[in-house]
Structure formats: structure tokens, C-alpha cells
Amino acid sequence: MSDPALVPRHPWKGRRVVLGVTGGVAAYKVVQLARDLTLVGADVDVVMSAGAQRFVAPLSFEAVTGRPVHTRLFSVDGAALHVRLGLDADAVCVAPATADFLARATQGRADDLLTTTLLATRAPVLICPAMNDRMFAHPQVRANLAHLRDALGYQVAGPGQGRLAAGEVGEGPGRLLEPWQLLEHVGRLLGTQAVFAQRTVLVTAGPTREAIDPVRFVGNRSSGRMGYALAQAAWRRGARVVLVSGPSSLTPPEGVETVHVETAIEMRGAVEEVLPDADVSVFAAAVADYRPLSSRDHKVKRERQGSSLSVELTANPDIASETRPSRRPGSVTVGFALETEDLLENAARKLTSKGFDLLVANDALEAGSGFEVRTNRVTILACDRAPEELPLQSKEGVAERVLDRIAELLEAGR
């Protein structure tokens, strides 16, 4: 789950989000969304339907956004409030969107503040449905949603599957996405960049595990955090993102197609499949360079093994180098290098020998950098430019800068 305090403020910062809340029990989750959006720098104007106010008091939203909540179409101070809200908005998000709201929005009704604001705005709109799973499966609800998406161009997030209002687990989708997921969807609405739209970005992340026996493995300390942050940020910029991840305890990024692998050989296979379609490939995984020559079928027993154990290792494939022939001509390729000595020399060598356009280097021994921490201090190398040293910052912040550099290369057509 992303921690809003770690997410760099882009793309929410200083943007105006109209958050429409309609009458479903999931409205309580949207208080958290309003808070998260505010924390990452957005100005959130909450518009509540009459039904929503029966579930959550406007005061809750006022308290977390620090702004007045709008509930009435006709109010003394705002004769054309809907027009102003609609015009000022950078994005409109409706969560939860009930079946009744979907029907009324489909008809273009204008009998409350939220529906009129929708008609008045030209900002991108995100609809986040939530209802009982049987209601969501109804053909009329599906038809309304299809109309909003296909005819009006609204984005739709969710619903997900899982526990519903009364605690029963739904057989189909119906549950509102979690606040952190909704935050990411609003981020994509606000953050899509033309240069990333219609592009496929491949990211490798995490460690690999190479089996010694059925319970033991050779691995490393990589958490996957850097690669996951890159995948999430690339998706937020509008790309289709495929994340090939070794074992990691992190929640897969929202919207990203995540392929889970365990070994370097499996990772190479997954990369080979995606690479021909990738406009950008980022090799952030800490691949184990060696694997046991053979993995035993049964657990090594201390009693039988005695006082020492030797495990012979053999080299793993170098995924970034071996898959070079499958790279799409003109695509942008980014590597990472974690060093403990001669950082810049080693990094410069990897930049050219592995055919990367950019190489992100960091010193594993420096405090606040490398594995198992949430921050990183990196230097970005490119062939035609002096190394760019970045200050110590969150891995999410590093990801944004790396994506800025990738965007420059894509824009230049490489």
C-alpha cells in the first residue's frame, strides 16, 4: 500500500479534484481517499448526493480536506456553483458510484449538484462503481457503464471482488477499490503524458531465488521497491506497464500487469515474451548472478550431511544482455547498477557493455541507499551527457526523475 507521504507530489500537487460521493455504504472509504488526495497536494472539492449524506456526514470530508463540502444545487452563495466547480476541475472522480448514479449520469440528468457538475465540466472523469455483486452483474447496470465509458469517454476503476457491505464475500465484482488504488487512478487521470500514452513499459524488479533444495535458496536482499515504484509511476503517466517481479512482499502496483517469477531463468523467459512489444524496458531486478548447479529433490539433512556442505554454483543468464536481440528498434532501455566500489567506472562500463541508454547507479554501502530502505541516492549516466547526481530522496522520487529522462529520450525519438 503506497504511503502518501512518500509519493512525490507530482501529479496531484496543486490540482483541483472534484470528488463526487453518492449513496453507498462504501462512502466511508472515500473519506480516506479525500484525505490522501489532500496529503499529496490536491485541492479537493467534495460534492455529496443526498444519499451519501445518510452514510457519512459532510463534516468528515470538511475535516480531512479543509474545504467546504457542497451538497445543494441551489444555494444562496452559489447560483452557478456547478458551472464553477466543473470549469475549475482538473479531474472529476465519483466514488462510490451507485447503480442509481450510473443510470442518472447515463441519462444526462441535471437534478442535483453532482450530475449538473458532470455536464458542465470538460475535465477527465473517473467513475468508481460499488454495489452488491448481483446488482453490478445486471445487464442494465453494465449497459449504463458501457455507455459512460464508450460514448462519453469516462474512465472506470473497479469494482473489485471481495467482501461486500454485510461481510459476505461477493461471487462477482462489486466492492469499491481501496483508497490507495483510487488515489493511483486519480493520479493517472491527472498525470497522463502524451509521450507515455499508447506505450508499453517493461520493468523487472526484486531479487531472484535459486533453489538449493525444496526449502532453501540462494538470493539477495532486494525488496523490489525501486522497480515497483517505477512501474507504478510509469502507469500513472499513462503507459501500459508489465512488471516482471521476483519474490517480493510488496503489493503489486495498481493497474500494472504483474508477472511473478522466481528464478533468473524464469525471469528471462518472461522478459523475452514482453520485450518485442516494449517501447521502454527498465532492468531494475537484482538478478542472482549464480545458481546451484543442481537443486536437490529432498531437503538436505544435517544428520546425513555432516559438518560441512558445499554447493557448487553456475552462472545465471545475464538477462539484459542476452535478450538484447529481442529489443524493439528505437526503444529506450534503462539499467541499474548497485556497486560497493568504483561506482562511476563500473556503472559507465555496464552502460555500454549492456547497451543501455540510461544507467541508474547507486552505492550499496552508503546510508539510506540500496536494498531494504525506502530511499536512494543515485547518479544517472548516459553516453552523451555528464552524470546527473540526484539528492537522497524516496525511491518514488527517483522513479519520477528516471521517467523524466526516459520521456526526454522518447520525445527525441531516441
Q: CB-wise, 5 or 315, nearer to ligand CTP?
A: 315
Spatial separation of the C-alpha atoms in residues 343 and 321, rounded to whole Å: 20
For 108, which DSSP code? T
Three-state secondary structure readout of 228-259? HHHHHHHHHCCCEEEEEECCCCCCCCCCCEEE
Our finding on whether 408 is near ligand CTP (CB under 6 A) is no
Q: CB-wise, 70 or 350, nearer to ligand CTP?
A: 350
For 324, which DSSP code? G
Single out the segment in contact with ligand CTP by CB under 6 A; choices: 67-75, 194-202, 305-313, 316-324: 316-324
Is 156 in contact with 94 (CB distance < 8 Å)? no
For 275, which DSSP code? G
CB of 254 to ligand CTP, least distance (A): 23
- The correct pick among 272, 277, 289, 388 for binding ligand CTP (CB under 6 A) is 289
Show which residues are catalytic.
Answer: 220
- Residue 69, C-beta contacts closer than 8 angstroms, at least 6 positions apart: 46, 47, 48, 58, 59, 61, 62
Q: CB-wise, 319 or 380, nearer to ligand CTP?
A: 319
Our finding on whether 19 is near ligand CTP (CB under 6 A) is no
CB of 393 to ligand CTP, least distance (A): 20
Residues 197-216, mask of contacts with ligand CTP (x by CB under 6 A): -------x------------
- The correct pick among 61, 283, 397, 400 for binding ligand CTP (CB under 6 A) is 283
For 276, which DSSP code? G
In DSSP terms, 249 is beta-bridged to: none
Single out the segment in contact with ligand CTP by CB under 6 A; choices: 195-203, 231-239, 318-326, 372-380: 318-326
Give the total of residues touching ligand CTP (CB under 6 A): 16
CB of 357 to ligand CTP, least distance (A): 12
Q: CB-wise, 143 or 373, nearer to ligand CTP?
A: 373
Our finding on whether 350 is near ligand CTP (CB under 6 A) is yes
Our finding on whether 318 is near ligand CTP (CB under 6 A) is yes
Spatial separation of the C-alpha atoms in residues 366 and 370, rounded to whole Å: 8
CB of 253 to ligand CTP, least distance (A): 18
Integer Rg of the chain from CA: 24
Q: CB-wise, 100 or 388, nearer to ligand CTP?
A: 388
Q: Which residue has the cell 553516453?
A: 383
Our finding on whether 319 is near ligand CTP (CB under 6 A) is yes
Binding to ligand CTP (CB under 6 A) within 166-195 occurs at none
Our finding on whether 320 is near ligand CTP (CB under 6 A) is yes
- Residue 284, C-beta contacts closer than 8 angstroms, at least 6 positions apart: 203, 204, 205, 226, 227, 230, 336
Single out the segment in contact with ligand CTP by CB under 6 A; choices: 55-63, 141-149, 181-189, 311-319: 311-319
Spatial separation of the C-alpha atoms in residues 105 and 37, rounded to whole Å: 24
- Residue 34, C-beta contacts closer than 8 angstroms, at least 6 positions apart: 19, 44, 46, 61, 64, 65
Tell me the H-state helices in 193-342: 225-236, 264-274, 302-305, 319-322
CB of 309 to ligand CTP, least distance (A): 24
Helix (H, G, I), strand (E, B) or coil at 97: strand
Single out the segment in contact with ligand CTP by CB under 6 A; choices: 135-143, 247-255, 335-343, 401-409: 335-343
Our finding on whether 336 is near ligand CTP (CB under 6 A) is yes
Residues 124-163, mask of contacts with ligand CTP (x by CB under 6 A): ----------------------------------------
- The correct pick among 125, 190, 337, 406 for binding ligand CTP (CB under 6 A) is 337
Q: Is the torsion defined by CA of 205, 206, 207, 209 positive or negative?
A: negative
In one letter, which amino acid is 28?
Y
Binding to ligand CTP (CB under 6 A) within 245-274 occurs at 264
Q: CB-wise, 195 or 334, nearer to ligand CTP?
A: 334
Torsion of CA 197, 406, 367, 342, to 10 degrees: 150
Binding site for ligand CTP (CB under 6 A): 204, 264, 283, 285, 287, 289, 316, 318-320, 335-338, 350, 354
